[in-house]
Amino acid sequence: MEERSEEQVISRLFDLENGGQAAQRAELSDERFLSLIQDPDTGRGYVFQHGLDETEGAEVPPGTEFWEYPNLDEAQRAYAQLLDEDRQAGEVVETDSEEGIGDSDASGAEVRDRYSASDEDLLIEPDDEVGEQTDKVS
């Protein structure tokens, strides 16, 4: 297997985290986050610390760091130790945080709201009949 560059690993960790793959995640002070992530492709465990990505993936947020471990168990121990250190320093805002998840993910369709296909939608013809049933058998 080819070694990934630091930038590739960070990009992969953001993708996994934004995809809901973080086993644990804590919000720290100054809009920073600490996550425990296992890469399903390699089985390796990671502790990932970063700030909010306000550039939609164009730049790595300042202070971004990761620690790589052979498996999730070792990463879990390191995550617990770092979280405990942050807690003692008074930097833990919330554990099990989902704040900022998906902020850098720009792929896929944008959903405006659940009523976007309403009468005000310019793409819907006013003459369209909603719910017209055609139970005719040919």
For CA atoms 117, 119, 122, 127, give the dihedral sign.
positive
CA distance linking residue 131 with residue 121, whole number of Å:
17
pLDDT digits (tens, 9 = 90+) for 30-84: 999 999 999 999 999 999 999 987 777 678 888 899 999 999 999 999 999 999 9
Query: Hey, where are the domains in the chain?
Result: 6-95
Reported as type and span, the H/E element at residue 9 is: helix 6-18
Confidence label for 133 from pLDDT (cuts 50, 70 and 90): low
Full-prediction pTM beyond 0.85?
Answer: no
